[in-house]
A and B are shown apart, each in its own frame.
Chain A
Amino acid sequence: MGPARTLAEKLWERHVVAARPGEPDLLYIDLHLTHEATSPQAFDGLRLAGRAVRRPGLTLALEDHNVATTADAVLDPVSLVQLETLRRNCADQGIELYSVGHRRQGIVHVVGPELGLVQPGMTIVCGDSHTATHGAFGALAFGIGTSDVEHVLATQCLEISRPRTLAVEFTGQLPPEVGAKELILALIARIGANGAQGHLIEYRGEAVRGLSMEARMTLCNMSIEAGARAGIVAPDETTLEYLRGRPHAPTGADWDTAVADWSTLATDPGAVFDRTVVLDVDGLTPLVTWGTNPAQTVPLAATVPDPQTFADPLELAAAERALSYMGLRPGTPMRDLAIDVVFLGSCTNGRIEDLRSAAGVLRGRTVAAGTRLLVVPGSMQVRAEAEAEGLHEVFLDAGAEWRLPGCSMCLGMNTDRLEGVERCASTSNRNFEGRQGARARTHLVSPAVAAATAVAGRLAAPADLA
């Protein structure tokens, strides 16, 4: 037995291609996901240098960021060129691509796990910061820029420095009305929007063990909003249950070998993290962001904070700017904020469980007059599953729009964008200025709060509905 190691160290060490003294580690990448928005320049770079894709079978491409979510939409010429560029690049290089209309199309971070492509112990990269999602499986998954996409296409490797490790221990029992979205927002509120800079987070504790795979994905997804390079959860029975029988999961004897290997993927007792944060979840209530970064979060039951109460002058200035952008006055109850648009979707909360949670609240109710509810499933598979369960009828009966999969209003790259200073309750991950539209005002919430808000027309939790 060697020294006690963290899960992060184990994942790292098994991917070091060759350790050479004085050189940074060269890591092998098991799976590369790609999409239309951050890949064209990488393929161009390869072409210019006369290089080929080393392992086309280890890359999967999807159309998601820039696709329309209505069947009759006409794409603008610039968007069309981007999609056609991806199609041509994939055809030239022998890379599998699921285009709009394909029954496996959807958001990269929703489709990868659905197909069983994401497995414990793997390294996964994508030209997208929310690649952290896949850490839910006990995989080392991180977002990269386009230069690194090119590097991975050419070499299937990346040279990177080792991250520091951060243990996040969620202690206590998660109350029934809150979920993974609250866990991650509470963490970000505690440590700040770049509080985990340079770190890889391992989420631990009973509250995490009790989460479904979908919820673990929500949790790991927003690791980047805490500034972390990645977030991971050690695999367990829940992970195996999810993976068993998925199209790319191992079968037969391979499954047994894989499961035996995966069972070693946990932090050893006594292993040391560089840093630990303990967060008690017992009294956690639904949370909502009030500002323009995800650390600016309060309980739904609270009021808009007064910037003067922030001791740090920089935080005070940031709060003042955020309030002015958000059009908010200190002391206003969050529940009094009228909402124009509710967005249910994204790689954070666009999975089947999220739609079930929202549909559970909406069943037999209607969306408030003056409020729009946009439901954008994370993938064609999620959409099909939801329709098989009749969830789409719940949404449509309530007066919501039932859309085709894509990133949609998470980043407003297509036409799903807020107008003017519209206020939105969104299940996505970023409340940055201008993210959902040039002057758009975003409040991040869970799917349950999103649904209740759509019914109330103002920020609300399911318990607030009569």
Chain B
Amino acid sequence: MEPFVEHHGRAVALRRDDVDTDQILPAEFCKRVVKSGYEDALFARWRAEDGFVLEQPQYADATVLLAGRDFGIGSSREHAVWALRDWGFRAVVATGFGDIFRRNALNNGLVPVDLPTPVVEELMALAESAEGLRVTVDLRAGLLRRPGGEHPFTVDERARARLLEGQDVIAATLLRNEDIEAYEARRPAWLPEIPRGAFDRTERSEVGA
């Protein structure tokens, strides 16, 4: 994965709390079997409404999304993170995140910046001002910097280390193969294993096809 150390870019304020992943990417777009090209699906329903903030020209180059409380709750669909990345976002600033979303984001180099509500409110006001707001997400230092201030944030320490180096997480686990084999040798024998064709595949009920 491409490393993430620091990112500087324009912020855009999405004034909504409890933005769930069904809003970020409606289910009908989960039919696709690819991992990119979801920018058309991002907030598809809200973008159909007049004046949606992401459609305003002054935010066309925004790469940092500011949102309210508890961003990314609900469905585990990683498509939501892919869509944010495909749109151009590199970080989301909010107060609280859905746990699965937070993990998915870190797995895709989209940094979840968890900050207290008063700070997010202040950032939103700046982003909505005539001058707009550009921020720096400094993952190495764990700081969100803005003109005239900075705000510390934390992400899972291990995920942070991996992102800074752009490490392949699966490769790292595969390096621990000896440990995994030793564990497998200790697993109780009764634990289920699913043989192929456990239930006759040709046995079909009278309905369906």
Query: Which residues of A are in contact with B by a Cβ distance under 8 Å?
Result: 17-18, 23-24, 26, 28, 30-31, 37-38, 40-41, 44-45, 49, 51, 57-60, 65-66, 71, 78-79, 81-82, 85, 94, 96, 98, 100-105, 116-117, 119, 122, 127-129, 143-148, 150-151, 154-157, 159, 161, 193-194, 197-198, 224, 227, 229, 247-248, 250, 254-255, 257-258, 261, 293, 314, 317-318, 321, 380, 383-384, 404, 411-413, 430, 432-435, 438
Contact = CB atoms under 8 A, between A and B. Distances in A.
Contacts of A404: 207-208
A224 B194 CA distance: 27
Nearest to B182: A18
A380 B173 CA distance: 37
A154 B198 contact: no
A198 B170 contact: no
Contacts of B16: 321
Contacts, number: 227
Contacts of A248: 192, 194, 198
B190 A254 contact: yes
A56 B172 CA distance: 21
Contacts of A82: 31-33
Contacts of A45: 35
A28 B172 CA distance: 15
B96 interface: yes
Interface string B92-124: 000011111001100110000000010000000
Given A40-B33, A145-B100, A96 B196 contact: yes
B188 interface: yes
A452 to B, nearest CB: 28
B159 to A, nearest CB: 9
Contact of A159 (B28, B45, B173): B173
B23 A434 contact: yes
A381 B196 CA distance: 19
Contact of B73 (A65, A227, A261, A321): A227
19 contacts: A18-B176, A18-B179, A38-B77, A41-B78, A60-B194, A71-B207, A78-B31, A81-B33, A101-B208, A102-B203, A103-B203, A145-B77, A151-B170, A159-B169, A227-B73, A229-B99, A321-B16, A380-B208, A435-B22
A155 B199 contact: no
B150 to A, nearest CB: 25
B99 A314 contact: no
Contacts of B81: 145
A193 B209 contact: no
A433 B74 CA distance: 12
Nearest to B201: A102
Given A38-B30, A128-B76, A147-B108, A261 B188 contact: yes
A116 B201 CA distance: 19
Interface of B: 16-18, 20, 22-23, 26-28, 30-35, 45, 68-70, 73-79, 81, 96-100, 103-104, 107-108, 117, 156, 158, 168-170, 172-174, 176, 179-180, 182-184, 187-199, 201, 203-205, 207-209
A146 B190 CA distance: 29
Contacts of B192: 30-31, 116-117, 119, 248
Q: Which of B68, B156, B199 has the most CB of A within 10 A?
A: B199
Contacts of A40: 33-34
B73 A413 contact: no
A98 B202 CA distance: 11
B69 A145 contact: no
A261 B20 CA distance: 39
Contact of A194 (B70, B180, B187): B70
Task: Report the 7 A-B pairs with minimum CB-CB distance, sorted nearest first.
Answer: A145-B104, A40-B33, A18-B179, A145-B78, A147-B107, A194-B70, A250-B190
B174 A154 contact: yes
Contacts of B191: 30, 119, 122
Given A71-B208, A143-B100, A127 B169 contact: no
Given A143-B100, A318-B17, A411 B27 contact: yes
Contact of A104 (B184, B199, B207): B199
Given A155-B173, A433-B22, A413 B70 contact: no
